[in-house]
Amino acid sequence: MKTRGVRHLLSMADLDRDAIEQLLNLTESFAEVSERSIPKVPALRGKTLAWLFYEDSTRTRLSFETAAKRLSADTMNFSVSSSSVNKGESLRDTVETLSAMGIDGIVVRHGSAGVPQQITQWTEASVINAGDGSHQHPTQSLLDLYTARSHFGDLDGRRITIVGDIRHSRVARSNVLGFATMGATVTLVAPPSLLPPSLEGWPVEVEHDLDAVLESTDICYLLRMQLERQKQAVVPSLREFHHEYGLTVARANRLPTDSLIMHPGPMNRGVEISGEVADRPQSVVTEQVANGVSVRMAVLFLLLGSGLDVVDDRRVAA
Ligand code: NCD
């Protein structure tokens, strides 16, 4: 599959290896744009994007906004908290209202799985999923793949260990698919209460003891406790979770020296990761954030821009 004709980005399940590689290669061109003294290209001049964020966000929203600005797109700064949504307007009416104003893309974050897919029925615009419930967060996975690839080159045979609240994490679901598609071996480490009820069909190995896999880990990927999605206590206490599953200094010292420590943010220092470990050179959290802008430029360009099959770098950089 190539990315020609793809109109929406809803799930990593929609992208095969060719499509991911094309997106990551395009990201490289946009990373180069981001390093220029004037990091701006006219690639999306005349296109309008709307943000529809029904859930909190710092880095994802700012990253999409920065990406849109660097591509010269216009943006509609719609804020759910100060809009007619507070007067009871339905999601469908909100989407149809925005669409009537003539938009080319909607970037949506919502607490319920499947909302971005639903929105594609109500608008002609491209829909980009910026996180739907515990379901998917494809641009986070793409920026993680890009960051990992920039350190290791090929991800074939690399071992990623994803630790923590996998049950409630859309990042975990997207990254399991993304890293497995790129040939990596994915191991999930969590207590049973933080794993999904069924892992049938997941291309993963499961381990309950983090200490057992540290030495064979190339990427140690930590997840935040998604307290807002947990309906009941899933661990005895955060202190105990840190003791059993947190990346402490002693555990981080046992990771191979060329391994990476990754986290999608926001980090809870002292819970899933110790503060000292989060600040080590091996921890590439800020690199992930920087790469997020370039990845989102690539996604917006592919969905709203030329729709080229084989993307010509010179057109990107013009
Ligand atoms: C993640 C999210 O919102 O899904 N954050 C992000 O987008 N960088 C992870 C999280 O909130 O824990």
Same domain, 276 and 185: yes
Within a domain: 274: yes
Same domain, 150 and 271: yes
Which distant-in-sequence residues (6+ apart) come within 8 Å of 65 by Cβ? 51, 75
Same domain, 121 and 190: no
Ligand 1 pocket test target in 162, 171, 289 with most atoms within 8 Å of CB: 171
Same domain, 192 and 145: yes
Same domain, 158 and 129: no
The response to whether residue 175 sits with its C-beta less than 6 Å from ligand 1 reads no
Within a domain: 240: yes
Within a domain: 120: yes
Find the CATH number of the domain harbouring 110.
3.40.50.1370
The response to whether residue 292 sits with its C-beta less than 6 Å from ligand 1 reads no
Residue 209 CA to ligand 1 center (angstroms) comes to 24
Same domain, 126 and 224: no
Residue 224 to residue 217: CA distance in whole angstroms: 19
DSSP state of 247: B
- Give the closest residue to 62 by CA, choosing from 296, 285, 222, 278: 296
Please state the domain count of the chain: 2
Same domain, 84 and 202: no
Same domain, 126 and 197: no
Residue 130 CA to ligand 1 center (angstroms) comes to 9
Unique residue bearing structure tokens 């515990």 = 134
| Contact criterion met (CB below 8 Å) for 127 and 120 | yes
Same domain, 232 and 190: yes
CA R_g for the chain: 19
Residue 139 CA to ligand 1 center (angstroms) comes to 11
Domain region containing 118: 12-136+292-309
User: Over its length of 318 residues, how does the chain's per-residue pLDDT go in tens digits?
Assistant: 556 567 999 999 999 999 999 999 999 999 999 999 999 999 999 999 999 999 989 899 999 999 999 999 999 977 777 777 777 788 999 999 999 999 999 999 999 999 999 999 999 999 999 999 999 999 999 999 999 999 999 999 999 999 999 999 999 999 999 999 999 999 999 999 999 999 999 999 999 999 999 999 999 999 999 888 888 888 889 999 999 999 999 999 999 999 999 999 999 999 999 999 999 999 999 999 999 999 999 999 999 986 544 344 445 544
Ligand 1 pocket test target in 140, 144, 230, 271 with most atoms within 8 Å of CB: 140
The response to whether residue 288 sits with its C-beta less than 6 Å from ligand 1 reads no
